[in-house]
Structure formats: structure tokens, C-alpha cells
Structure 1
Amino acid sequence: MSHSWFAFYGGSHKQLMDLLKENIAGCSVFTLPAKKWHWRARTAALYFSQTIPACPSYRLLFSSSVLSLCELAALRPDLARLKKVLYFHENQLLYPVRRHQDRDFQYGYNQVLSCLVADVVVFNSRFNMDSFLSSIPSFMNKIPDHRPKDLDRLIRPKCVVLNFPLQFPDVSREHDKNPELFFSTLLRLKERGLDFHLSVLGETFTDVPEIFSSSRLLLDSHILNWGFLPSKEDYLRVLCEADVVVSTANHEFFGVAMLEAVHCGCFPLCPKALVYPEIFPAQYLYSTPEQLCKRLQGLCRKPDVARRHIVKVDTSAYSWAALKPRFQDLLSAPCP
């Protein structure tokens, strides 16, 4: 029996956990709801140490990097003896903060310690892995004295890249996402009298930037859909009706939504940064806000360019069907 849980059960974390639960036999899943993220990172290990029952048939522990695996292993020696797989959906060493002094050292420190305890460390993209490992030395230099050394060299041999698996449908065709750039670009298109329609989709969390409400009023005549669509079918329908999908993210370690949109026939425009060059050819990348605006301006004037274009991204390579054997191998291999 394999043994899996995520400390943060929501969004893409939930999507992955549900997928593994449905397709990998013998999983015991323990989760916490997707709210109060910082408290999950701080305290989930203690909670799970008290709530996960002892079971002699457990042979593998699959954990999100949100959880402090180091603390859990110390509190539960029976779990520490299992093969421990740590999955990085994102890493705290590179997670954007508004000010440098706002970064809480403990979150990244816990992830480094968890890597040292884990047997296998899995990243959803090469960008995620490389950015984490290369940031460890400078991150540890924040310690005033008696700093540990060579941690990246200890962790690197354990690391593998295993893309986030998506279940694509059969179709015919957060401050960290930089909404300011997205909406300012659309307002420039509106000022130039260009014709376009807009769908802004996604979950609504507690702290919504003010620019969302102000932009909704200014762009009202262009809006087709706004906010969270509870039905996956409705969400996919909107994607299939769209021509272009835009990312203005300044933080992205994989980009599930962009690949889903491309699978549904959207022409992608992404920053030439983060994980995007790893997935998207150069023709879909922009380097500056002005480049993004020019590309969208051109597509507004000639929408058939996007509608007739076949995106040069093989989305099937990121599908669960393609990645399932690697996940099965990861979760079924004997303890080293």
C-alpha cells in the first residue's frame, strides 16, 4: 500500500492528489483544506503526526513540499522508515514577495530540510528544480553565522523532473499573476478602439487586488465571463470559445491553466521567463509589456491569425496518459 497526502488540498494540489488517488492502487490520502496556507506550512506536520494511524503495510510516503516532511519524520519514526517522496509544486526560495524583508526564512528553510530527509525529490518542471537548487547557497547566506554548506550538492542527486500530469478533455479545439500588467494592456487596447471580448476566470480568494474591481468596471462592455466557474464543463466551454490566452505571471513553476487553454485551441502569449520557455516555442513568448500589447493589437485586428493557427505545443506530452507510467514507477519502486 502506498501512502499519500498533501498539506494544502486545493487548486492544482488537489487536482494532482485526486488524479493519483483515482489511478494508483492502495493509496491512503490525508489532507487539509486549502485555506490559511501559512498555517498549513507551519503546523500540518504536527497535526498529521497525531491523526495518521500506524499501519504496517505502508511502504511509501508521498508528500507535498508545503508539508514539513522533516518534522513529520522526526515525530513519527514509523513513517520515517518508509520511502519518502517529496513533490514540489512550487518552491519558497523563489516565491515572489512584495519586499525582500517580507520573505519568511522558515518556509524555505523547511523545504530545504525536507529535501535532506526525503529519498526522492520531484519537481514539476526543470525551471522549478534549477531555481530551487541554485537559490540554496544565497538563501543560506542569510544565516548570520555558522552557515551549513554544500546543501545543494547533497540534494541534487535525489532530484528528478516529472511534469504535472493533466487530464485533457476530448474537445474540438493571485498578486503573483501580475494582474496590473494584464489589465493595463487591455485598457490600452480599449483606448485604441480595438474590438475584443474578455473572459477572466479563476478561483476567488480572500485578498483580491483592487485592480480587479476597478478594471471590471472600465472593461465592462468587453466582458463575456468573469470569476470562478464551478462547472469544469463551463470552464472548458469558455476556453474552447476563446481565441487567445494570455499569461502575465511573474511567478509560475508549471502553468496548468495555460496548457489547458492551448489544448482547447487558444493561441498562447506568455512571458519569456519562468517556466514558459521550457514549454512554449519562442513565437509565443514576449519580453516586454510593449511587445505583449503589440501582439494583442495585431490579433485584435486580424483574429483569424489566432483562429487558424495550430499551436506548436504537444499537449499530449503533459497528459496523464503519457506520464502515468513514470508516476507508477515512482510510487511503486521499493524503498532504497
Structure 2
Amino acid sequence: MDLVFLEPYDGGSHRAFREGWVDRSRHRFRCLTQPARFWKWRMRGSAAVFADELNRRNNRDNPADPTPDLIFATGFLNVADLRGLLRPPLDRVPIVLYLHENQLTYPLSPEEEFDFHFGFTNIISALAAQRVVFNSEYQRRLFLDAIPAFLGKMPEGVPRQVPARLEAKSEVLGVGLERRPLPAEYYPRYRGGPCAADAGPTWPRAERPLIVWNHRWEFDKRPEWFIAAVETLLDEGHDFAVALLGESRNQEGVFHPLAKRLGARCVACGFLPSRAQYDALLERADIVVSCAAQEYFGISVAEAVHAGCYPVLPRDQVYPSLYGARCKGRHLYDTPRELTALLRDLITGGTCGHVCSLDRDVDEFCWERLAPRFDALVDRVVSGGPQG
């Protein structure tokens, strides 16, 4: 089928998602994108930009640029505006909306005030789409459960039964990983502590444990929690190494004091220049830490887990729904103090050792396994067949 992929914020995980699916899909794609900046203006204006381009192309009698069978859009696009601006026959093309995140429940930075416009845009977009896809059940529930209180602020003329209407046409498909799927004969390994020599790989994988931070250096990832935990462990005299990865996003000073104190034990600091270097580092690391105040899927954690890292994760985010039911090991914490205690036990070979299947569990998100499920979603929507 012929698809149009609309991405108003084509950077980071949004761009990786688009490229990962497009590269492996059996469908044909035409991608219209905008750079990953000015996200608020993207939510306000990208529909008009994309509609103009689609209308212009559709006016040409060009077999190489046919009317698409489906439009796939992400959450920074106002789907209702787009549909209203498209001219026939484009205005009748089904639209699937994929929500990497939503503005109803996304935490505000210290400099921001809540803007009802953007949350309402997500709701209206979902109502206008034929199908709404969330990257996790956790985000779907957060979004749907937040709608009644949000709409309750309207003085009158409140749309009716919005959560039920959206739930009926929604489903969950996770984010793809740029990782090679594990072989069929792969078996879970013992992680989190030393084991018998014949029972599996050694712990840690090198002379000293290697802890990885592989997230943006921004407020919603709470780097200050990680810094405080590492500083405490250094004060206590523990021997370990740290890799400070991820995009700094103009926050270069966040980790520099910690990197300076770590010295040679900071094996990397900043965004690595190649995917191969990133994968190689994950595959020699032991522990991956998230301190996120907002996480609806957590692709960087999933990549590290698939590479064999032991995850240490905040309980109040998506992680229990993805990992908690699948592994009974100690992976979750509630407070900064618990984070420090769990890291201490891991780097000292304490009470965390167990056979951990999480790398096998996240294997379903490798693009080679996930892309056919997105293709099947397209088939169902275009054919009008059973959904979800």
C-alpha cells in the first residue's frame, strides 16, 4: 500500500521510530517531516504545512505520487486541522495517530505553565483519527483517565463520552529497537551478582561494574537523582565506572562536575558519534539506570536491557507494566535513597543476583519483529476490518 508518514518533530526517538519502521515495512512510504524544534509551533502549524504539500502533490497527474491509502501521523500534529484542510480525495483517506507522548500528562519544566490548548489538541486529534495507537498501555490509561477532569474545566458544551469513544478505537504498539533479535536458542542469564563459573557470564562483565546513564540530560529525566546516588557511592569508596550518554540538549553543565570527579572511571561523556559505538558500550555495561519523571515507553532502557544490562528503574513510571510482571528480581525503586541502596547492592555483589529474562522479554520490540505488526495495523485500518 501507499502510505504518507507525517512527522512534525523529526528528531531523537521520533525520527528513529519513523526510520526504523519505514526501512522494514512491506508498504511504500512518502515521508513529510519538519525539524525537531519549536514543538509548540509544530502543534499549531504543521497541519497547514503538510496539508498544503499533500494538496499540491495530489493536483499532479503523477503515477509515482498516487493518492495514499493511509496517512500515519504522530502526536505533534493536529489531525482535525489536517483533515479540514485536505481537499478531495485526500480528505477521505484514513488517518492513524501514534502518540509517543501526550500533553495532558507530560510534566512541565520549571519555567512552564500548563497550556490547555495542547492537551485539547491531543484529544481533538484522537477524535478525528480512525485509529489511535499508544506506545504503552501505561500511557493509554494515563491519557484516557486524565480526560474527564481536563474536559470538566470547560464551562459548557462539553463533548460526551470522549474516553469511551477513544478507548474503543485505540490499541497499543511499542517502539521498535535498532537491535538484532536474539537467536531462538538464547536462554536467560544470571545477572545482578556473582554466580557459579559454569552457570553463565561473570558479574560484572569487566574488572569493575559499569553503570550507564543513556537519556537526555533534561529536567524530566531527573539527572540530579543519578548524580546524588553516584556521589554517595563515591563518598563511600566503592569502585565502579560510569558512562554518561545521551543528548545534552543545551544542558552540558549537568554532568560535567560528576565526570570530572570520576576522572578515568568516566568511560564516556555525551552523545556517542556512531550507533556501533553505542551498542558496543551497552554490551560491555552491567547496569542501566533511569530516574525519569516521565516515561511512556523508555526506548533507551529497552535497548540497554536487550544488550544485557541490569535495569534500575523508578516504580512510578511505565517500567512496572513492561518489566515488573516478567521478572521477580530487584529492579524498581521509589525514592532517591532506595535508588542508592539498590545500586550499592549491585556494585558490591549483594542480594540482587538472579536469573533475569528481561533481555529475552524485550526482544519482541526489535524492529524485525515489530514492523510486521505495524504493517498489519495498516492493513486492518485500510480494509475496515476488525481492530486491535
TM-score by length of 2: 0.80
Matched, 1:226 2:269: yes
Matched, 1:15 2:16: yes
Of residues 232-241 and 315-324 in structure 1, the stretch that sits farther from structure 2 once superposed is: 315-324
1:31 pairs, out of 25, 30, 33, with 33
CA deviations over 1:68-101 (Å, ceiling 9, x no partner):
1111111114333111100011111110014697
CA deviations over 1:13-67 (Å, ceiling 9, x no partner):
1111112222222111111111222221221111112222216531101000111
- The CA deviation at 1:304 is 11
Matched, 1:295 2:342: yes
Matched, 1:238 2:281: yes
- Distance in 2, Cα, partners of 1:2 & 1:335: 14
Q: Is the 8 A contact 1:8 1:35 kept in 2?
A: yes
Structure 2 residue runs of 5 or longer lacking an equivalent are 59-64, 187-200, 202-217
- Distance in 2, Cα, partners of 1:140 & 1:101: 21
Q: Quote the residue 1:273 is aligned against.
A: 316
Q: Is the 8 A contact 1:2 1:59 kept in 2?
A: yes
Q: Quote the residue 1:312 is aligned against.
A: 358
Q: Quote the residue 1:57 is aligned against.
A: 67
Of residues 234-243 and 96-105 in structure 1, the stretch that sits farther from structure 2 once superposed is: 96-105
| Counterpart AA for 2:244 | V
- Distance in 2, Cα, partners of 1:237 & 1:144: 56
Q: Quote the residue 2:145 is aligned against.
A: 134
Of residues 137-146 and 296-305 in structure 1, the stretch that sits farther from structure 2 once superposed is: 296-305
Q: Quote the residue 1:176 is aligned against.
A: 220
Q: Quote the residue 1:88 is aligned against.
A: 99
Structure 1 residue runs of 5 or longer lacking an equivalent are none
1:149 pairs, out of 157, 160, 179, with 160
| Counterpart AA for 1:286 | Y
1:167 pairs, out of 173, 178, 187, with 178
Q: Quote the residue 2:86 is aligned against.
A: 76
Q: 1:115 aligns to what SS in structure 2?
A: helix
Q: 1:102 aligns to what SS in structure 2?
A: coil
Q: Is the 8 A contact 1:267 1:311 kept in 2?
A: no
- Distance in 1, Cα, partners of 2:260 & 2:150: 42
Q: Is the 8 A contact 1:179 1:211 kept in 2?
A: yes
Q: CA RMSD in A?
A: 2.3
Of residues 149-158 and 246-255 in structure 1, the stretch that sits farther from structure 2 once superposed is: 149-158
- The CA deviation at 1:218 is 3.6
- The CA deviation at 1:107 is 1.1
1:323 pairs, out of 363, 370, 375, with 370
Of residues 30-39 and 319-328 in structure 1, the stretch that sits farther from structure 2 once superposed is: 319-328
2:229 pairs, out of 170, 179, 185, with 185
Q: 1:211 aligns to what SS in structure 2?
A: coil
- The CA deviation at 1:267 is 0.6
Q: Is the 8 A contact 2:306 2:358 kept in 1?
A: no
Aligned length: 334
- Distance in 2, Cα, partners of 1:6 & 1:231: 23
| Counterpart AA for 2:13 | S
Q: 1:241 aligns to what SS in structure 2?
A: coil
1:205 pairs, out of 235, 249, 265, with 249
- The CA deviation at 1:305 is 6.2
Structure 1 or 2: more helix by fraction: 1
Q: Is the 8 A contact 2:180 2:366 kept in 1?
A: no
| Counterpart AA for 2:16 | Q
Q: Is the 8 A contact 1:270 1:285 kept in 2?
A: yes
Q: 1:3 aligns to what SS in structure 2?
A: strand
TM-score by length of 1: 0.92
Percent of residue pairs identical: 33
